Amino acid sequence: MRRLLRQLRNFLGSKPGHGAAGMAAGQLTDAPGAELPATEPEERPWGPLERANSGIVRLDANGRITEANDRALELLHGTLADMLGHDFWDVVPEDITDQYQVATAKALSASARHAFVANHKFEGSWIEYCFMWQAPGFVVRLRDVASMQSLLRLLEDSESYNQLIFDVNPNAMWLFERSSMRILAANQAAVKFYGIARKEFVTLRAGALFPDGEGAALLSALESGTGSRGGRINMQLCKQRKMDGQLVLVELAWGHVNWGGQQAVLVSLADVTERHLADGELRRANAVLEENLARRQSELKSAQRDLAAFTTAMTSDLNDALHVANGFATALAERYSAVLDEQARHYLSRIQASTRQLAGMVDDLRTLVQLPLRSGPLEKIDLVSLCNGVIADLRGQEPGRVVSIELPESLPLVGDASLLTTALACLLGNAWKFTAKKAEAWIKVALLPGKAPGELVLQVSDNGAGFDAAYSDKLFTAFARLHSAADFPGNGLGLAIVKRIAARHGGRVWAETTEQVGSSFFMSFPQGAVRPG
């Protein structure tokens, strides 16, 4: 083969543009390049070419190598000593010679320049060969174009991948040319959805798929040039017409794309007819549920009112009975104490204490049950004035006690003044009670920032008896007591009331103690929150 090609080269001769036509090969492409200035061979003075990123090889009129720069030697994987005097096609890989030599010879017989890109399979590289006539022979420029080939392959792969995604997408998709509204392509899902063969599909205009009046806004916007641009996806609910004339409700999305160099609109749709019917059923079911919920809420409010009325009547009757019992016990103690022995007087005092305790429990029960009915508006208040009122009542009940009260100048909070007064009465009352056995008792009230944005936390601390931290979860349960009634009287409802009031404000409660000495109670208040129902 190589002998035959040499004979062909000798036949072509050495005229400009033809003399070494058998030296190049391959696909006839117009690659960029500039002719090199002629130099005397003995000077080896091509200077910048030696430092160029391209490989440069000089050939004589017979196609033999006379010079090569370092980059050319690197790309051809040889040394200058091994190449000098050899035919150019003898130093390139044999498969490239077989594939491109004849084609290059033909191209150079008609032109002074020819280029092709060949794959050096062994090295896994792509080299561009550019042959340029320069008397008395040729200059061959070699360039590594692997990165360019990779980009071309990626582009081809991307286009193929996009086409594949379009074809196999489960959603019906079709494209139409923006200017003419002519349908360019439709995927298999669209063919199946509309019942229109693909060949017929691409003969239609976009308006054929819309019933009269449907999609007019979309189509007119596109025709007038006001449709969406910039990759934005538009969506709308509309109807589509199938091949058999059936109209279906679809959710249609569209956006501008470049399809094969044409400005097109990609349309994707999903059949939502069944979903629309299901939504209708769901709306009807929701309406029934809302009606039932409203009825249940009305029944619940009625039951709450009945419970409140019953509680009021019961507590009123109980208070009346307790008041009578306590009154008679007081009369007996006052009028007949002289004739009663010590044991009898003790019995009377126990009766009076029990009636007072039971009356307090009845009052607290009524407060706990009636809290929802007592709720007032949320307003900005200063807790200091409420605290001072509660503390004044406590000092009035035990004027002999000395308790240090620490209050800041202001405790601004948004809340229900009536409910907060009740909560402070419970918290400060507990602190007052559980510091009774302390020689130097103190109570501290503070307002702290909460963890949530806009949340405030009310803290009431004391140096009283404290509690066992293992049972802290029971503190806010109704009738739960962690201390003996003989040591600290009470009915176990105060902290349950505090918890209910915090919940009415959308907050929560918790308590802390240190080695069962002293305690701190906390109520959180989301400021500006809507009161829970």
- Residues 18-40 have pLDDT tens digits of 443 344 333 333 333 333 333 33
What's domain 376-526's superfamily in CATH? Histidine kinase-like ATPase, C-terminal domain (3.30.565.10)
Give the mean model confidence (pLDDT) for residues 306-330: 69
Cβ-contact 457, 523 below 8 angstroms: yes
Which pLDDT value is given to residue 22? 40
Domain 152-271 architecture: 2-Layer Sandwich (3.30)
Which pLDDT value is given to residue 89? 94
Helical residues (DSSP H) of 115-201, grouped into ranges: 146-168, 188-194, 198-201
Element at 329 (helix H, strand E): helix 273-335
SS3 253: strand
Between 238 and 194, the more confident residue is: 194
Residue 87 DSSP label: B
Give the mean model confidence (pLDDT) for residues 418-443: 88
Which residues, 6 or more positions from 90, have their beta carbon under 8 angstroms from its beta carbon? 2, 97
The pTM for the full model equals: 0.40
How buried is 312 (Cβ within 10 angstroms: 0-12 exposed, 13-18 middle, 19+ buried)? Answer: middle
pLDDT per position as a tens digit, 126-170? 888 999 998 889 999 998 887 776 666 655 555 666 676 777 788
pLDDT per position as a tens digit, 50-86? 445 789 999 998 899 999 999 999 889 889 999 999 9
SS3 494: helix
CB under 8 A, 24+ apart: contacts of 40-47: 41/66, 41/67
Tokens matching residue 526: 């989301």
> In whole angstroms, what is the distance from residue 20 CA to residue 99 CA?
17
Cβ-contact 236, 254 below 8 angstroms: no
Give the mean model confidence (pLDDT) for residues 427-455: 89
Give the mean model confidence (pLDDT) for residues 237-265: 83
Task: Check pLDDT > 60 for residue 487.
Answer: no
Name which of 317, 370, 360, 184 is nearest 262 in CA terms.
Answer: 184
> In whole angstroms, what is the distance from residue 105 CA to residue 114 CA?
9
Tell the residue number behind the tokens 């509660």, with chain if given.
Answer: 390
Average pLDDT, the chain: 76
> In whole angstroms, what is the distance from residue 267 CA to residue 184 CA?
11
Which pLDDT value is given to residue 16? 39
Which pLDDT value is given to residue 140? 94
Give the mean model confidence (pLDDT) for residues 282-286: 73
**CATH number, span 2-144:** 3.30.450.20
Give the mean model confidence (pLDDT) for residues 384-391: 92
